Chain A
Amino acid sequence: MAGVPEAATGHAEAHAHHPPYLQHHFVSAEQQFDAAKLGMWLFLVTEILLFSGMFVAYAVYRVWHPEVFQAASKLLDWRLGGLNTIVLLTSSFTVALAVHYAQLGDKKRLVQNLWLTVALAGVFMVVKYFEYSEKFHHHIFPGGNYAYEGLQLPYVGQFFSIYFVMTGIHGLHVLVGMGVLTWVALKAQRGVFSSEYYTPVEISALYWHLVDIIWIFLFPLLYLIH
Chain B
Amino acid sequence: MATQTIAAQKTAQSEINYLNHARGLKSWLLTLDHKRIGILYLISVVFFFIVGGILALLIRAELFEPGQTLMTADTYNHIFTLHGAIMIFLFLIPAVPAVLGNFALPIMIGAKDVAFPRLNLASWYIFWLGALTMLVGIVTSGLDTGWTFYTPYSTMTSSGVTWVVLGIFILGFSSILTGLNFIVTVHKMRAPGLTWSRLPLFVWGLYATSIVQILATPVLGITLLLLALERILKIGIFDPALGGDPILFQHFFWFYSHPAVYIMILPAFGVISELIGTFSRKGIFGYKFVALSSVAIAFLGFLVWGHHMFVSGQSATAATVFSLLTFLIGVPTGVKVLNWVASLYRGSIWLRTPLLYALAFLFVFPIGGFTGIALGTLGLDVPLHDTYFVVAHFHYVMVSGGLLAFLGGLHYWWPKMFGRLYNEKLAQIAALLIFVGFNVTFFPQFILGTQGMPRRYFDYVPEFTTLHQLSTVGSWILGLGLLLVAVCLLHSLFKGQLAPANPWGAGTLEWTHTGRLPSPHNFERTPVVTRGPYDYHLAEEIFGNGHGDGGGTPAVIPAQGQAQS
Instruction: Please give the residue numbers on chain A whose beta carbons come within 8 Å of chain B beta carbons, in ascending order.
Output: 1-7, 9-12, 23-27, 31, 34-35, 38-39, 42-43, 45-47, 49-54, 56-57, 60-61, 141-145, 154-155, 157-158, 161-162, 164-165
What is the distance, in angstroms, from B458's C-beta to the closest C-beta of chain A?
Answer: 33
**If A7-B192, A11-B565 touch, does A157 touch B236 (CB 8 Å cutoff)?**
yes
Which residue from B215, B508, B528, B557 sits with its C-beta under 8 Å from A49? B215
A-side contacts of B29, CB under 8 Å: none
Q: Is the CB of B526 within 8 A of A27?
A: yes
**If A7-B192, A12-B565, A34-B188 touch, does A25 touch B527 (CB 8 Å cutoff)?**
no
Q: Is the CB of B236 within 8 A of A158?
A: yes
The 4 closest A-B pairs by CB, nearest first: A144-B234, A143-B236, A53-B222, A161-B235
> In the complex, which residue of chain A has the Cβ closest to the Cβ of B543?
A2
Q: What is the 8 Å Cβ interface bit string for chain B, positions 236-272, against chain A (1 contact, 0 not)?
A: 1101001111001000100000000000000000000
Q: Is the CB of B507 within 8 A of A1?
A: yes
Residue B140 CB within 8 A of the other chain: no
A-side contacts of B527, CB under 8 Å: 1, 4, 6-7
Q: What's the Cα separation between A60 and B243 when bound, in Å?
A: 13
With contacts A1-B529, A34-B188 known, what are 15 further pairs, Cβ within 8 A? A1-B513, A2-B556, A4-B528, A7-B192, A7-B527, A9-B526, A10-B524, A10-B525, A23-B117, A25-B189, A54-B222, A161-B229, A161-B233, A161-B237, A165-B229
B-side contacts of A164, CB under 8 Å: 235
**If A4-B529, A35-B116 touch, does A158 touch B524 (CB 8 Å cutoff)?**
no
Q: Is the CB of B234 within 8 A of A6?
A: no
**If A57-B248, A154-B243 touch, does A39 touch B116 (CB 8 Å cutoff)?**
yes
B-side contacts of A161, CB under 8 Å: 229, 233, 235-237
Q: What's the Cα separation between A26 and B116 when bound, in Å?
A: 10
Which residue from B229, B521, B524, B560 sits with its C-beta under 8 Å from A24? B521
Q: Is the CB of A46 within 8 A of B214?
A: yes
Residue B113 CB within 8 A of the other chain: yes
A-side contacts of B234, CB under 8 Å: 142-145
Q: What's the Cα separation between A5 and B244 when bound, in Å?
A: 64
Interchain Cβ contacts within 8 Å, total number = 159
> In the complex, which residue of chain B has the Cβ closest to the Cβ of A47?
B218
Residue B56 CB within 8 A of the other chain: no
Q: What is the 8 Å Cβ interface bit string for chain B, positions 207-225, against chain A (1 contact, 0 not)?
A: 0000000111111011100
Q: Is the CB of B188 within 8 A of A1?
A: no
Q: What's the Cα separation between A25 and B34 when bound, in Å?
A: 11
> In the complex, which residue of chain B has the Cβ closest to the Cβ of A52?
B219
B-side contacts of A46, CB under 8 Å: 176, 180, 214-215, 217-218
Q: Is the CB of B226 within 8 A of A60?
A: no
Which residue from B111, B184, B512, B565 sits with its C-beta under 8 Å from A25? B111
Q: Is the CB of A2 within 8 A of B560?
A: yes
A-side contacts of B252, CB under 8 Å: 53, 56
A-side contacts of B405, CB under 8 Å: none
Q: Is the CB of A2 within 8 A of B557?
A: yes
Q: What's the Cα separation between A158 and B526 when bound, in Å?
A: 57
Q: What's the Cα separation between A9 and B221 when bound, in Å?
A: 43
Q: Is the CB of A35 within 8 A of B184?
A: yes
Residue B456 CB within 8 A of the other chain: no
A-side contacts of B222, CB under 8 Å: 50-54
B-side contacts of A52, CB under 8 Å: 218-219, 222
Residue B57 CB within 8 A of the other chain: no
Q: Is the CB of A53 within 8 A of B530?
A: no
> In the complex, which residue of chain B has the Cβ closest to the Cβ of A4?
B530
A-side contacts of B311, CB under 8 Å: none
Instruction: Please give the residue numbers on chain B whose beta carbons come within 8 Å of chain A beta carbons, in ascending order.
Output: 111-113, 115-117, 119, 176, 180-181, 183-184, 187-189, 191-192, 214-219, 221-223, 226, 229-230, 233-237, 239, 242-245, 248, 252, 507-509, 512-513, 521, 524-531, 541-542, 556-557, 560, 565
**If A143-B235, A157-B242 touch, does A5 touch B530 (CB 8 Å cutoff)?**
yes
Q: Is the CB of A142 within 8 A of B233?
A: yes
Which residue from A7, A34, A155 sits with its C-beta under 8 Å from B243? A155
> In the complex, which residue of chain A has the Cβ closest to the Cβ of B244?
A158
B-side contacts of A142, CB under 8 Å: 229, 233-236
A-side contacts of B187, CB under 8 Å: 35, 38
Q: What's the Cα separation between A74 and B116 when bound, in Å?
A: 47
What is the distance, in angstroms, from B540's C-beta to the closest C-beta of chain A?
Answer: 11
Which residue from A6, A27, A57, A145 sits with its C-beta under 8 Å from B237? A57
A-side contacts of B557, CB under 8 Å: 2
Q: What's the Cα separation between A157 and B219 when bound, in Å?
A: 23
Q: Is the CB of A165 within 8 A of B226?
A: yes
Q: Is the CB of B112 within 8 A of A25?
A: yes
A-side contacts of B513, CB under 8 Å: 1-2
B-side contacts of A24, CB under 8 Å: 112, 521
Which residue from B191, B214, B245 sits with its C-beta under 8 Å from A45? B214
Q: Is the CB of B226 within 8 A of A57?
A: yes
Q: What's the Cα separation between A38 and B183 when bound, in Å?
A: 9
Q: Is the CB of B526 within 8 A of A144?
A: no
> In the complex, which residue of chain B has the Cβ closest to the Cβ of A30?
B188
A-side contacts of B236, CB under 8 Å: 142-144, 157-158, 161
A-B contact pairs, 27 of them (CB 8 A): A1-B507, A1-B513, A2-B512, A2-B542, A2-B556, A2-B557, A3-B542, A4-B528, A4-B531, A7-B192, A7-B527, A24-B112, A31-B189, A35-B116, A39-B180, A42-B214, A49-B219, A50-B219, A56-B252, A60-B245, A60-B248, A143-B234, A144-B235, A145-B233, A145-B234, A154-B243, A158-B237
> In the complex, which residue of chain A has the Cβ closest to the Cβ of B531?
A1
A-side contacts of B117, CB under 8 Å: 23, 25
Which residue from A11, A38, A47, A50 sits with its C-beta under 8 Å from B525? A11
What is the distance, in angstroms, from B150's C-beta to the closest C-beta of chain A?
Answer: 17
Among B223, B237, B542, B557, chain A packs the most CB atoms within 10 A around the CB of B237
What is the distance, in angstroms, from B225's C-beta to the closest C-beta of chain A?
Answer: 8
Which residue from B526, B541, B565 sits with its C-beta under 8 Å from A7? B526
A-side contacts of B226, CB under 8 Å: 53-54, 57, 165
